[in-house]
Amino acid sequence: MARLALDDVTKEYRDGEMSVVAVEDVSLDVADGEFLVLVGPSGCGKSTTLRMIAGLETITDGEITLDDRSINDVPAQERDIAMVFQSYALYPHKTVRGNMSFGLEESTELSDSDIAETVEETAGMMGIEDLLNRKPGELSGGQQQRVALGRAIVRDPDLFLMDEPLSNLDAKLRAEMRTELQHLQEQLGVTSVYVTHDQTEAMTMGDQIAVLNEGTLQQTGTPLECYHQPNNLFVAGFIGEPSMNFFDGSLEENALVTESLAYSLSPDLRRDIEAGTDLVLGIRPEDVRIDEPRTDGQRFAAEVIVVEPMGNENVIHLRFDDAMAGDEFIVTTEGVPTVSAGDRVDVEFSEAVVHLFDGDSGVAIKNRTLSFSGTPDEVIP
């Protein structure tokens, strides 16, 4: 087990006088035994970051340390790091046993009997002990993924790196493997860095998540911190499905005024905001109340555009009276749908649950009010 730290790590690709910065000044601290998920859209630099940790990419600037020892100049094969790839990267001519034992045969001095014992023990842990004599071409995608994970586990590395290992699986198997991976990581207690563009994987698997965009680290925190207390507009919009609703406007007297609504701000909230400042009002779909008894929020009339029944919840698309098409928004409700397309409803936004962002910088000015009880992940609205 080991502690991993990245200190202002930068990766720049050069082609003559042209240069592209893929990763810029990324700093991360992954505690011993912690599971960190790097998440972001395609091209944000997450896989490049993982490859720099593995030693498969050189670092332009900054430092990577493993247990307080710099590994910038340590060759990949000497870093005691195991990596699981999206493509599985199994040897097609070798059996499952041969694939899992190959790394131990090449990099350790273990006897054949010790290697065989380690492989069989790991195969039992992965539920693939009956597949040891098969070749990859005879396995399903889920079985191949288990072999790839088992091959990494047998090495007993200081650090696990996983680059979108579940993306080739179907939705049901992907959900099952998410659970298995979490259980395995808890069992093994190995420091792990997991790359994905799937926010569901990030929210459900990570002790911490690090959100990247265009090579820049946007926020690091627990999944619920990033969801409920985003640093900026990008994190607020990227984390969460359906995405947070946004309404662009500006502060005029006592209210945030958009093309569709005027949302009154409390004196405490508007005290440090200058009149005329561009602002963005944000609210999560589940925080919008629809046709419910009035509480402390502000109410607005809206029309239902589309209702998408999902079984356990309903995704309802609405727009305000006389709203522009861009000001359509989404509400999620539980249970049986109570509204239909064309219905007129009242929606309520409580100031306790709305977010406010600077319209120019995107930086969060106000996030929804939370109280934490017990562990940091136990949130009470």
Q: Give helix then strand counts, H and E, for the chain.
A: 9, 23
Instruction: Please choose, from the candidates 83, 268, 246, the residue with its C-alpha nearest in 3D space to the C-alpha of residue 163.
Output: 83
pLDDT for residue 28: 97
Decide if pLDDT at 17 tops 90: no
Among 191, 249, 187, residue whose Cα is nearest residue 6: 191
Question: Which tokens sit at 183?
Answer: 């259980």
Predicted confidence (pLDDT) per residue in 50-76, tens digit: 999 999 999 999 999 999 999 999 999
Please give the average per-residue pLDDT across 331-351, as a whole number: 92
Give the pLDDT mean for 112-132.
91
User: Which pLDDT score is estimated for 326?
Assistant: 55
Q: What is the pLDDT of residue 240?
A: 92
294 vs 109, higher pLDDT: 109
Inter-residue contact 202 to 196 (CB < 8 Å): yes
What digits encode the pLDDT tens for the residues 47-57? 999 999 999 99
Tell me which residue has tokens 């989404």: 330
Mean pLDDT calculated for residue range 325-343: 86
Residues 97 and 139 sit within 8 Å (Cβ to Cβ): no
Q: What percent of the chain is predicted at pLDDT more than 90? A: 66
Please give the pLDDT value at position 228. 95
pLDDT band at 87 (very low <50, low <70, confident <90, very high): confident
- Phi and psi based region of residue 228 (left: phi greater than 0; alpha: psi -120 to 50; beta: remaining): alpha
Q: Is the pLDDT of residue 300 over 60?
A: yes
Contacts (Cβ under 8 Å, ≥6 apart) of 44 = 212, 213, 214, 215
Contact assessment for residue 238 and residue 225, using Cβ atoms and an 8 Å cutoff: no
Most confident stretch, 56-65, 80-89, 100-109, 146-155 = 56-65
What is the chain's mean pLDDT, rounded? 90
Range scoring the smallest mean pLDDT among 98-102, 104-108, 352-356: 104-108
pLDDT over threshold 70, residue 11: yes
Q: What is the pLDDT of residue 307?
A: 95
Distance CA 330, CA 183 (A): 35
Region 176-187: what's the mean pLDDT?
86
pLDDT of 379 above 60: no
Residue 156 pLDDT greater than 90, yes or no: no
Give yes or no for residue 373 having a pLDDT over 60: no
